Chain A
């Protein structure tokens, strides 16, 4: 314990501890970051075109209510005027004015914090009249179809109807005659009317909602679903396949009560694109607006002061040392071999774009294919640098091939291979070959498995959002990582696999 590495590690720990204490006690930072997955960044872009008349574009927009908070709204309207309009429960953005023949780009963006669902204690929803384009005999038919469920609670009635939409009527089944009439009705009406008719017949208040699915996406089309009042809350029903969404509902409503999401008068709104991103930092910004305006030194030097588009990079970057720490652990404590030192970390970073399964598959594919080619190249006896260049070219060709294949199959993950660390892959192929030649295939495969293993572990760590946030708020935690790394650097004990390697000595003393 007299080694100078120990005081260094202790000093690093103390620095980290002091800075964190300062932030928590004087700057009143929260100790635990709030749950990150509830914040979304929504943006809408579109191109307005039209004639010489004044054009009006109305688009349903999200607004703050019990289930969500909308903040940081930004409007892009160009030469058009913008107004917010309330239509019943909806909030509608209205862009209006005369536009140039070239058209005008409009846009909207906002940060939406989805709150955890709470039971609603408001008045019961009103049962709307039957859908407009249904006849009385249709309504009577629907009533006959759902009559056997009348005595059930609202939520159960909804489930039975949902099942019926999938063709499962339960027992006893409705009369054949009724079913035939129902099929005929479905033929002549849009599906949504059929759904609403059944729900109304079962005395379930329902409304048509248009919006987006809450997943990271860029889409031109929106989703329509039906919200059904089941006495305590609105359940969301997917009308096409009769699926009831589980709570919390992964949907973002933009307009309800059947109001069309986009209405345009005297023109056209084209190239509409909805973008949804998880916006963790934005949520922090909401929390940290006070800190942002603070003049305290650490606040001014916080990573939150970076432009938002750089913050994401740093959120990942700040976790890379943990990946390096994992490699230290694996190599020096466990004794598992890896290719190079940082290949697994770079692989993990690439996996973020390709996804784990594809990333690993492509990694193995490229390495094994590269190995086969490398064996052939060995016969040519090329010099080191030209030889590595040939393999590099091969790797790039592989990546191009995967990208083209991905494009053909519509697999975005394959196209993201461009982000794989190709230089590292090249070196991996070379190392894999050398290890195979010098120590055998088994050793080489072990090393490859070790590298892939650390890459997966590192990837999982990098994906931990609470960890990302904690490090982002308290970057001084990196000192703790450094302290552990210093201590690991002085670990002179046995590696775990050495215990096995020297098993011949067990019990011999």
Chain B
């Protein structure tokens, strides 16, 4: 029974946790590069230098002393996002969609006074949400208006697109859709659904919710399959260039499609999860092997890598 299961997973080329850690993260992701992806501000600066679009940065708050001017800082922007630079798993993020004399309207409709927002940023600076509890910085950046294509299958929150990049080649992808149980967050371990994307076509496949395969969104009851993801190729290109920019060989790239600006880079992950394989009903290992066997000229430019990936990893070619 066990041997049979191992055999099946091998056949499909499913990547397991042990192999991911030993063969890919340890080999391709040098520890010294981790700060680039763990700190969103550094990621943003790096992306800017490489002409990769990110949500416009309004302000960086580094010191508790700067909080006195908060009202003035945000007065120019009717809507914005506050996030910790080193926050993990979407914690500490506040989306403000409007503000007036009474206070700030969060995206879920709740109004919080200036004082509460100040406290929240103070918490961020103190490292409440930071990965290792270290002192942190707070970013105030533009609110992304997600493309309406996923509106029917999103419960609150912002759906994002995760693309796995291996040695600069986009390998596998999924849309992460917030649900009621994920509390509007797009993190799979919080209960968001991951829906696989056909690499060749940019259309959605089946989804994974917790550990089981789904074809409908659990809250909106709309089908998740067969949706054409807009800006597909340009997103793959951003992902491929992100691989070059960070020097990290095995990377999870999280993008959001803004209504006006198109795809923007949200954050990077140097230890991307393995759930994406269930969403795509395909194994990462097999695709990694194909990339490792690819002729060297494939790796010359991001454009060629994307073209090669579009061609190789299409669901129709059954990889």
Using CB atoms and an 8 Å cutoff, list the residues of chain A in contact with chain B: 332, 335, 381, 383-385, 438-440, 443, 489-496, 498-499, 501-509
A489-B22, A492-B16, A495-B16 given; name 8 further pairs at CB < 8 Å: A381-B128, A383-B128, A438-B89, A493-B18, A493-B19, A502-B277, A506-B8, A508-B281
Nearest neighbor of A492 in chain B, beta-carbon distance: B19
The reply to whether the CB of B2 lies closer than 8 angstroms to some CB of chain A is yes
The reply to whether the CB of B11 lies closer than 8 angstroms to some CB of chain A is yes
Q: Decide: A495 and B18 in contact? CB cutoff 8 A.
A: yes
- Are A498 and B133 also in contact (CB < 8 A) when A508-B12, A508-B281 are? no
Residue from A384, A492, A503, A505 in contact with B18 in the complex, judged by beta carbons closer than 8 Å: A492
Residue from A335, A381, A438, A502 in contact with B9 in the complex, judged by beta carbons closer than 8 Å: A502
Most buried by B among A381, A383, A491, A494: A494
Q: Decide: A505 and B133 in contact? CB cutoff 8 A.
A: no
List B1-55 residues whose CB lies under 8 Å from chain A: 2, 4-6, 8-9, 11-12, 14, 16-19, 22-23
Give Cα distance in the complex from A383 to B119, angstroms: 13
Most buried by B among A335, A381, A505: A505
Q: Which residues of A contact B16 (CB under 8 A)?
A: 492-495, 498
The reply to whether the CB of B126 lies closer than 8 angstroms to some CB of chain A is yes
Q: Decide: A506 and B190 in contact? CB cutoff 8 A.
A: no
Most buried by B among A489, A492, A493: A492
Q: Which residues of B contact A491 (CB under 8 A)?
A: 18
The reply to whether the CB of B189 lies closer than 8 angstroms to some CB of chain A is yes
B277 to chain A minimum Cβ distance, whole angstroms, is 7
Q: Which residues of A contact B249 (CB under 8 A)?
A: none
Residue from A384, A439, A492, A505 in contact with B14 in the complex, judged by beta carbons closer than 8 Å: A505
B210 to chain A minimum Cβ distance, whole angstroms, is 9
- Are A507 and B8 also in contact (CB < 8 A) when A383-B126, A495-B18, A502-B14 are? yes
The reply to whether the CB of B123 lies closer than 8 angstroms to some CB of chain A is yes
Q: Decide: A492 and B8 in contact? CB cutoff 8 A.
A: no
B275 to chain A minimum Cβ distance, whole angstroms, is 9
Q: Which residues of A contact B5 (CB under 8 A)?
A: 499, 503, 506
Nearest neighbor of A438 in chain B, beta-carbon distance: B89
Give Cα distance in the complex from A498 to B22, angstroms: 16
Q: Decide: B190 and A505 in contact? CB cutoff 8 A.
A: no
A98 to chain B minimum Cβ distance, whole angstroms, is 70
Kindly state the interface size class of chain B when it binds its partner.
20 to 34
Q: Which residues of B contact A381 (CB under 8 A)?
A: 119, 123, 128
- Are A335 and B17 also in contact (CB < 8 A) when A490-B22, A508-B281 are? yes
- Are A509 and B127 also in contact (CB < 8 A) when A493-B16, A504-B213 are? no
Give Cα distance in the complex from A440 to B17, angstroms: 21
B32 to chain A minimum Cβ distance, whole angstroms, is 22
Nearest neighbor of A507 in chain B, beta-carbon distance: B8
21 sampled A-B residue pairs with Cβ under 8 A: A381-B128, A440-B191, A492-B16, A492-B18, A492-B22, A492-B23, A494-B14, A494-B18, A498-B14, A498-B16, A499-B2, A499-B5, A499-B6, A501-B278, A502-B14, A505-B9, A505-B14, A507-B8, A508-B12, A509-B8, A509-B11
Q: Decide: B211 and A384 in contact? CB cutoff 8 A.
A: no
Give Cα distance in the complex from A443 to B89, angstroms: 16
Q: Which 7 A-B pairs have the closest CB atoms?
A: A384-B133, A509-B11, A492-B19, A499-B5, A494-B16, A505-B12, A492-B22
The reply to whether the CB of B283 lies closer than 8 angstroms to some CB of chain A is yes
Q: Which residues of A contact B213 (CB under 8 A)?
A: 504
- Are A494 and B9 also in contact (CB < 8 A) when A332-B18, A438-B89, A439-B190 are? yes
- Are A509 and B12 also in contact (CB < 8 A) when A335-B17, A490-B22, A498-B17 are? yes
Q: Which residues of B contact A332 (CB under 8 A)?
A: 18
B203 to chain A minimum Cβ distance, whole angstroms, is 20
Residue from A439, A489, A505 in contact with B283 in the complex, judged by beta carbons closer than 8 Å: A505
Question: What sequence of 0s and 1s flags, for each residue 50-76 of chain B, a beta carbon within 8 Å of any chain A beta carbon?
Answer: 000000000000000000000000000
Q: Which residues of B contact A443 (CB under 8 A)?
A: 189
Q: Decide: A494 and B6 in contact? CB cutoff 8 A.
A: yes
Q: Decide: A496 and B2 in contact? CB cutoff 8 A.
A: yes
